[in-house]
Amino acid sequence: MSYCVNCGVELGAGVGKCPLCSTPVLNPRAPIDRDAPPFFPTRHEEVEPVSRRMAGLLLSAMFASVTVCCGVLNLIFYRELWWSFFPGGAAVMFWVWFAVPLLFRKINAWYRLTLDTLAIGVYVLLIALAVHGLDWYLHLAVPILLCAVCVCPTVIWVVKYRRLSILSSAILVLLSAGFLAVAVELICDLYLHDAWLPGWSLIVLISCVGLCIPLIVIRRVPSLREEARRRFHI
């Protein structure tokens, strides 16, 4: 058995040069045999990419096993409380989020979004029912969820279909996050205090606006925009 002096790869008997780095092989004990079968396979093959369907099935099996295991444990421990319902519900919600797009590839983006939102809504509703919290569900969870559902897809749609630059997209995302924080605090305040008492959300909004200002300046000044493009490839 001999090895290439340059790259160290194992050499077949009678080869004239290294199959990897083409360094000539000079071995008086093993003369070159041009008719010897190739030591390494000559055909290049690629590992097949993981099928999306298989990945979806694997994820489904993982989430199903979590749900079943929690259910069985619940029957053994703390039987007076149906605690397995919470991890089980979360597993179903994650299954809708991650496994459904892999299993049903041609599903429309808007249907997916509706399905994802419904999964969150139903899961939170079931928790609210379990803890007798229908009031906070209707006046707190549903409005916050609706706000997020209105803002996030709009931002994604504008960025994707208007083909915004990275700078413009960052400005839009930051401003949307700021105003979403204000809306969330407004909903919480109206539910808890029946009045708007702005606090943490204004700090978030001001921080987002503060971050946007230099981005807007860079976007407006051609020399700065070119410098940013060169330095950060944007």
The region of 4-12, 65-73, 97-105, 218-226 touching Zn ion under the rule CB under 5 A is 4-12
Strand partners, 17: 24
> At 11, is the secondary structure helix, strand, or coil?
strand
Q: Which is nearer to Zn ion, 3 or 111 (CB)?
A: 3
Task: Using CB under 5 A, pick the residue from 7, 36, 109, 129 that binds Zn ion.
Answer: 7
Strand bridging mode 10-11 / 2-3: antiparallel
The CB-of-8 to Zn ion minimum distance in angstroms stands at 7
- Closest residue by Cα to residue 117 from 87, 86, 84, 151: 151
Task: Using CB under 5 A, pick the residue from 2, 3, 6, 105 that binds Zn ion.
Answer: 6
Q: Which is nearer to Zn ion, 10 or 226 (CB)?
A: 10
Q: Put residue 78 in one of left, alpha, beta given phi > 0 → left and psi -120 to 50 → alpha.
A: left
The CB-of-64 to Zn ion minimum distance in angstroms stands at 50
Q: How many residues bind Zn ion (CB under 5 A)?
A: 8
Q: Are the CB atoms for 196 and 190 separated by under 8 Å?
A: yes
Q: Which is nearer to Zn ion, 23 or 117 (CB)?
A: 23
Joined together, the tokens standing for residue 1 give 């058995």
The CB-of-32 to Zn ion minimum distance in angstroms stands at 16
The CB-of-25 to Zn ion minimum distance in angstroms stands at 9
State the first-to-last Cα distance of the chain, in angstroms, to the nearest integer. 53
| Environment class of 156 (CB within 10 Å of its CB; exposed 0-12, middle 13-18, buried 19+) | middle
Q: Which is nearer to Zn ion, 5 or 216 (CB)?
A: 5
Q: Which is nearer to Zn ion, 40 or 196 (CB)?
A: 40
Angle, to 10 degrees, between the axis of helix 200-220 and the axis of helix 166-193?
160
List the interface residues with Zn ion, window 8-67 (CB under 5 A). 9, 18, 20-21, 23
Q: Which residues bind Zn ion (CB under 5 A)?
A: 4, 6-7, 9, 18, 20-21, 23
